[in-house]
């Protein structure tokens, strides 16, 4: 059965040898995973290259999967120029051993974007069949709206940071009309805007405090959170990773975690989250133990 609401993140795919990478891909496919997330900058292109080498061995599966990759980040700056976008996509296609990308995300907002150039790039990619759909990453509602107005294109996805410990996407909603710091809108209304306009939200780093601080799982700075994750894992006959991901699935806003794994065991642990529905008291307790407050 296909897992339409599970995305396998391949940010570290280049660290696997080819046989191990193939084994992980095939196991994920056998479990119903069909959505694979990459970026041109992951491993300086080597993650796409490794995935492409695996895919070259299984071209019969290409039309059954969704390949999502990103562009726009360069060393020290962001770039939405026509030449960079088109060249990035063509290079990604070569590395990925495919002739089209299902979803292209623009990785970070280029505040110096020439919107005419940007629109020209999207038209070229779409008309030449190189990209089927477009999305964004790390963008607020105002900038998504601006891109749509300037190009006429729909952006069907917004990939943002979200986990039990990184809940800035919802904090201002829960803490509205208070004077605590969580009341300040850090997401630019992304949650409500994307939900109202059928833009799917994807959560990157769904098991991390942040990119720099690493995972909160078994982290001594979050002992009480981990203790409660263990309690819930026993109640639901699962593992704490699955419970942590189920925190995201419990929200009624169409948020799908992008889960990076390097082993079959960890993948299976993560997939178990799809079988769990936390009750409200459990969800709110996790929110509080993640370091947040309620008014």
Instruction: Give the residue from 60, 53, 125, 128 showing the smallest Cα distance to 94.
Output: 53
Give the mean pLDDT of 199-216.
95
Rounded (10°) CA dihedral 213, 219, 223, 229: 100
pLDDT: is 212 or 256 the higher one?
256
Among 2-16, 88-102, 189-203, the least confident range: 2-16
Cα separation of 159 and 145, whole Å?
A: 15
209 near 166, Cβ under 8 Å? yes
Q: How far apart are CA 39 and CA 57, in angstroms?
A: 21
Q: Count CA atoms closer than 13 A to 167's CA, side-chain side.
A: 27
Pairing between β-strand 77-78 and β-strand 73-74 as defined by DSSP bridges: antiparallel
Predicted confidence at residue 212, as pLDDT, reads: 86
- pLDDT grade, residue 211 (50/70/90)? confident
Q: CA nearest 197: which of 137, 149, 156, 142?
A: 156
Strands (E) located in the chain: 3-9, 33-37, 66-71, 73-74, 77-78, 101-106, 131-137, 157-161, 200-204, 208-210, 214-215, 255-260
Is the pLDDT reported for residue 1 higher than 80? Answer: no
Span 212-222, average pLDDT: 95
Q: Where does the pLDDT of residue 2 fall: very low under 50, low under 70, confident under 90, or very high at 90 and above? A: confident
Token output for 142 = 């105002």
Measured distance CA(131)–CA(90) in Å, rounded: 10
Mean pLDDT, the chain, integer: 97
**First-to-last C-alpha distance (Å) of the chain:** 42
Mean pLDDT (whole number) for 150-178: 97
**Model pTM?**
0.96
User: At 256, phi and psi to the nearest 5?
Assistant: -115, 125
Max CA separation in the chain (angstroms): 57
Taking only the tens place, the pLDDT of each residue in 64-95 is 999 999 999 999 999 999 999 999 999 999 99
Digit-coded pLDDT (tens) for 88-143: 999 999 999 999 999 999 999 999 999 999 999 999 999 999 999 999 999 999 99
User: What's the DSSP call for residue 57?
Assistant: T
Averaged pLDDT for residues 243-255: 97
Looking at residues 183-212, what average pLDDT do you find? 95
Round to whole Å and give the CA distance between 255 and 202. Answer: 5
pLDDT digits (tens, 9 = 90+) for 172-195: 999 999 999 999 999 999 999 999
DSSP secondary structure code for residue 199 in this structure: P
> What's the CATH fold of domain 3-215+251-277?
TIM Barrel (3.20.20)
pLDDT at 21 over 90: yes
Q: Which of 4, 13, 62, 56 is nearest to 33 (CA)?
A: 4
Confidence of residue 236 (pLDDT cuts 50, 70, 90): very high
- Range scoring the smallest mean pLDDT among 6-10, 55-59, 158-162, 177-181: 177-181
As a whole number of angstroms, the distance between CA 107 and CA 122 comes to 15
| Residue 144 near residue 269, CB atoms below 8 Å | no
What pLDDT shows up at residue 206? 98
Block residue for tokens 């790039």: 121
Summarize the confidence of residues 243-271 as an average pLDDT.
97
Output the pLDDT for position 133: 98
Kindly state the average pLDDT of the residues 259-270.
Answer: 97
Contacts of 245 (CB under 8 A, 6+ apart): 206, 207, 257, 259, 270, 273
């Amino acid at each position: 059965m296909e897992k339409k609401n599970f995305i396998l993140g391949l940010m570290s795919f280049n660290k696997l040898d080819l046989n191990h990478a193939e084994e992980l891909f095939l196991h994920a496919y056998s479990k119903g995973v069909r959505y694979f997330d990459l970026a041109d900058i992951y491993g300086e292109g080597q993650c796409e290259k490794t995935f492409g080498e695996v895919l070259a061995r299984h071209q019969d599966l290409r039309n059954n999967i969704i390949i999502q990759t990103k562009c726009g980040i360069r060393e020290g700056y962001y770039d939405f120029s026509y030449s960079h976008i088109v060249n990035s996509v063509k290079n990604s296609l070569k590395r990925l051993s495919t002739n089209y990308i299902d979803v292209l995300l623009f990785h970070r907002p280029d505040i110096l974007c020439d919107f005419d150039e940007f629109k020209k790039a999207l038209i070229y990619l779409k008309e030449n069949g190189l990209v089927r759909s477009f999305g964004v990453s790390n963008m607020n509602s105002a900038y998504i709206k601006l891109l749509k107005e300037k190009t006429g294109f729909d952006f069907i996805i917004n990939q943002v940071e979200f986990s039990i410990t990184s809940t800035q996407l919802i904090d201002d909603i829960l803490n509205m009309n208070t004077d605590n710091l969580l009341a300040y809108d850090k997401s630019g209304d992304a949650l409500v805007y994307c939900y109202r306009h059928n833009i799917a939200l994807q959560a990157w780093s769904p098991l991390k405090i942040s990119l720099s601080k690493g995972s909160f799982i078994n982290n001594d700075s979050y002992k009480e959170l981990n203790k409660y994750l263990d309690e819930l894992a026993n109640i639901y006959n699962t593992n704490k990773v699955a419970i942590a991901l189920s925190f995201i699935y419990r929200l009624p806003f169409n948020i799908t975690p992008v889960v990076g794994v390097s082993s079959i065991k960890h993948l299976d642990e993560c997939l178990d989250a799809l079988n769990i529905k936390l009750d409200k008291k459990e969800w709110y307790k996790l929110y509080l133990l993640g370091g947040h407050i309620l008014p």
